[in-house]
Amino acid sequence: MYARRARFDLFHGTNFDVPLWKKRPSLVTIHDLSALLHPEKHRSRLVRRARLRLPLVARVADMIITPTESVKREVCQRFNVKSEKVSAIHLAARQSFQPVPFAQTAEIRKRLGIEDEFLLFVGTLEPRKNLLTLLKAFEQIVAQSSRHPQLVIAGGEGWLMNEVSAYLKKASISGRLRVTGYLDDDDLRALYSSCRVFIYPSVYEGFGLPPLEAMACGAPVIAGRIPSLQETLGSAARLVEPLDVDALAKSTIELLEDEKQRQKLKAAGREQAERYSWENTARRTLDVYQSLVNTM
């Protein structure tokens, strides 16, 4: 109702939605198509709404922004949208994510119950993050590696995690696992900066901010080999098939035991993260605004 009455030049729906009436130019950000491409990993109510609403929104909006070229291709194919209607505009790690000297992370790690040597995952705890594969790989790492790191899982509780909860009840790794819940940026920066390896085996992403944040803080990254992460992380991360437990375990053990490779990935990751900036994101978004207003 407010949007119908307000006098503005352009409406930008920043989270998948725009008004379906057409009195003003409209732009929508579609962050990903996870609910449509992986419906089994979402609550049925969200899937139903996405199936009904997203095709309408994609048709009604005058322009669409996606966070990657891979999501742009999905949007164009799924909704039969012309390529020129969609702008892929990358996101970025915030400037606050910078390396912290290891010694300066000790107090935060102590408060969180985290040891000196640990592997790190950051993200909402939900099915597409593929935590079951990570946990199974971690069991192999503990059994096969001469090192015995903790696995730290940081992130807010999501949905449909019964399978992971059931696995943890019978797994042998519970004593080496630390689940922190949601953390603020100061805590995250300390953990990104001090982890031995950051692991992100997601099966689907629109962009993938956590691994880029980890790179900005100097963490070596292993991630799922999926289109959006290949685009975002490039060759600066080790990429493995998301559901391949053995490959994930093997790649992690190799990094734990090869300091030269760790340092190489750390340097490459920081260089990759520096290619992205929110200033560029804002500038390119403003260009889309101006092009829409000028042509309407």
Beta bridge partners of 238: 222
Same domain, 124 and 241: yes
Specify whether the CB–CB gap between 129 and 199 falls below 8 A: no
Structural contact between residues 40 and 47, judged by C-beta atoms closer than 8 angstroms: no
CA distance 49 to 73: 22
- Counting the structural domains of the chain, the total is 2
pLDDT recorded at residue 1: 47
Sort residue 130 into left (φ over 0), alpha (ψ -120 to 50) or beta.
left
CB atoms within 10 A of CB 70: 21
pLDDT of residue 262: 97
pLDDT of the residue at 88: 98
Strands 86-88 and 118-122: unpaired
Same-domain check for residues 147 and 245: yes
* pLDDT per residue as tens, the chain (296 positions): 455 666 678 999 999 898 887 678 899 999 999 999 999 999 999 999 999 999 999 999 999 999 999 999 999 999 999 999 999 999 999 999 999 999 999 999 999 999 999 999 999 999 999 999 999 999 999 999 888 899 999 998 877 788 888 887 777 787 899 999 999 999 999 999 999 999 999 999 999 999 999 999 999 999 999 999 999 999 999 999 999 999 999 999 999 999 999 999 999 999 999 999 999 999 999 999 999 988 76
SS (H, E, C) the chain: CHHHHCCCCCEEECCCCCCCCCCCCEEEECCCCHHHHCHHHCCHHHHHHHHHHHHHHHHHCCEEEECCHHHHHHHHHHHCCCHHHEEECCCCCCCCCCCCCHHHHHHHHHHHCCCCCEEEEECCECHHHCHHHHHHHHHHHHHHCCCCCEEEEECCECCCCHHHHHHHHHCCCHHHEEEEECCCHHHHHHHHHHCCEEEECCCCCCCCHHHHHHHHCCCCEEEECCHHHHHHHHHHCEEECCCCHHHHHHHHHHHHHCHHHHHHHHHHHHHHHCCCCHHHHHHHHHHHHHHHHHHC
- What's the distance, CA 279 to chain centroid? 20
In a domain, 243, yes or no: yes
Q: Identify the pLDDT of residue 3.
A: 57
The answer on 199 and 84 residing in a single domain is no
* 119 and 252 fall within a common domain: yes
Helices 245-257 and 131-144, packing angle to 10 deg = 50
Same-domain check for residues 79 and 195: no
Residues 183 and 161 in one domain: yes
Residues 127 and 266 in one domain: yes
Residues 6+ apart with CB under 8 A from 197: 119, 120, 219, 220, 221, 222, 252, 255, 256, 262
Distance CA 236, CA 223 (A): 10
Residue 4 confidence (pLDDT): 60
Domain region containing 183: 102-273
CATH value at residue 46: 3.40.50.2000
Query: Are 282 and 222 within one domain?
Result: no
Q: Are residues 134 and 147 in the same domain?
A: yes
Position 97 in a domain: no
* Same domain? 37 vs 177: no
Give domain status of residue 235, yes or no: yes
Q: What pTM does this model have?
A: 0.94
Q: Is residue 218 part of a domain?
A: yes
Q: Which residues contact 133 (CB under 8 A, 6 or more apart)?
A: 201, 242, 243, 244, 245, 248
Are residues 123 and 75 both part of a single domain? no
Same structural domain for residues 140 and 266? yes
